[in-house]
A and B are shown apart, each in its own frame.
Chain A
């Protein structure tokens, strides 16, 4: 059963890698907020899975609960920023080595 859960953990990490692609290459900043929110939820579950692998779930539950809380707070804070500063500037804000505009 342990190797099954280790496989589940590696599968979750692989899915996190795919979501990280959206978090890095998302054309707007809000796509990145969404990517980080999904990564945060996956990390919460991965924490409880790691606890099950180590056969000591009771230690890891508190951390998972605190994680879910702070993931929520970070997402709300990031989205409230866009209520106050309304320009979503899409051009020239990509990767450093790809964009040519340098104002």
Chain B
């Protein structure tokens, strides 16, 4: 906690947030929102929460911003026409925001101080995980062990939520009839975009290394910040890079719509499947220590570490497929003919 850096980064974040709302052009607002995400990740790194910062960097600053661009590409850059000065709705919004802020401030007075070592959470809960994680599961990264082992149920439903989000985008946007495209609300000059040699060459050289790095992030999540979610999102981002620099159809040839949904399914199935395997072996659901009966030459402690690796792989596969699927749907408005 370095207060000088804290103050400077917080100032930048507040300025970015104001600018995002006040700029009229929607594309520019999306760009400044990308900068806001970058700075948010920096703030969390400076506070010491590296796993959260990694997830924000990959999801918020990377894929979310590209999805905003895809949405603006399919709709318009102009904010919709609204009647000037609806005073009642603005007053209502201001009152609601002020009341919520006031209630939060009053509740915050009851909180213990920042990083106070004598709170109930720091006295009873945290020391258990800090002392017992390496002894119970042989995994040095405490965040990964709490996420994947001690609270593994939660993470399984998070993966299911990601899969449901992919399904929801398909349900809303996917169109199968070959109807005429509607007119954009503005007189844009629509062009096809010529193939760019430099971007194609660099993307072709970089994508294997990006994917290798993503696999490293998934596999090394036990010892360094990382894990299944972050690695899966970076894998998905590599396919988005391919779709942007090459043609849309090339990525559709690699990761077709059928395979996307199937891989999303398989990811959740791997996670729940490992849980059921533990059930069949005679323990609780998602109790990985029973996997030592199936895996050769592991004792109960190492079995928990391997179980965590298994579910991280499941999460990575599901997240990668769903990120690619959501991007393909949004950027082509559900018709799968051409994109950014």
Direct contact of A and B (CB under 8 A): yes
What are the interface flags for B176-190 relative to A under an 8 Å C-beta threshold, 1 for contact and 0 otherwise?
000000000011111
A10 to B3, CA, bound (A): 10
Whether A102 contacts B42 by the Cβ 8 Å rule is: no
Whether B19 contacts A24 by the Cβ 8 Å rule is: yes
- Report how many residues on chain A are interfacial, defined by Cβ distance under 8 Å: 56
Whether B188 contacts A6 by the Cβ 8 Å rule is: no
Which residues of the partner chain A approach B34 to less than 8 Å between Cβ atoms? 36, 74
Whether B5 contacts A13 by the Cβ 8 Å rule is: yes
Number of A-B contacts (CB under 8 A): 189
Whether B72 contacts A81 by the Cβ 8 Å rule is: yes
Interface residues of B in 253-309 (CB under 8 A from A): none
Q: A6-B4, A10-B4 are in contact. Are A80 and B340 (CB under 8 A)?
A: yes
B181 to chain A, nearest CB (A): 13
A57 to chain B, nearest CB (A): 12
Best-surrounded residue of B19, B34, B187, B217 (most CB of chain A within 10 A): B34
Whether B234 contacts A66 by the Cβ 8 Å rule is: yes
Whether B28 contacts A73 by the Cβ 8 Å rule is: no
A60 to B22, CA, bound (A): 34
Contact of B210 among A69, A84, A89 (CB under 8 A): A69
A6 to B4, CA, bound (A): 8
What are the interface flags for B73-85 relative to A under an 8 Å C-beta threshold, 1 for contact and 0 otherwise?
1000100010010
Interface residues of A in 39-63 (CB under 8 A from B): 39-40, 43, 46-47, 50, 53-54, 58-60, 62-63
Chain A CB within 8 A of B12 CB: yes
Chain A CB within 8 A of B155 CB: no
Whether B193 contacts A80 by the Cβ 8 Å rule is: yes
Whether B16 contacts A20 by the Cβ 8 Å rule is: yes
Which residues of the partner chain B approach A40 to less than 8 Å between Cβ atoms? 35, 38, 61
Q: A10-B5, A73-B240 are in contact. Are A65 and B213 (CB under 8 A)?
A: yes
Q: Which 9 A-B pairs have the closest CB atoms?
A: A70-B62, A13-B8, A83-B193, A86-B189, A93-B25, A24-B19, A36-B35, A77-B66, A85-B188
Mind listing 27 A-B residue pairs with CB under 8 Å?
A: A6-B2, A13-B5, A23-B35, A43-B41, A50-B46, A53-B2, A63-B45, A63-B54, A63-B57, A63-B225, A66-B213, A66-B217, A67-B61, A69-B234, A73-B237, A73-B240, A73-B241, A74-B62, A76-B203, A81-B69, A81-B73, A84-B73, A86-B189, A87-B189, A93-B77, A95-B24, A97-B22
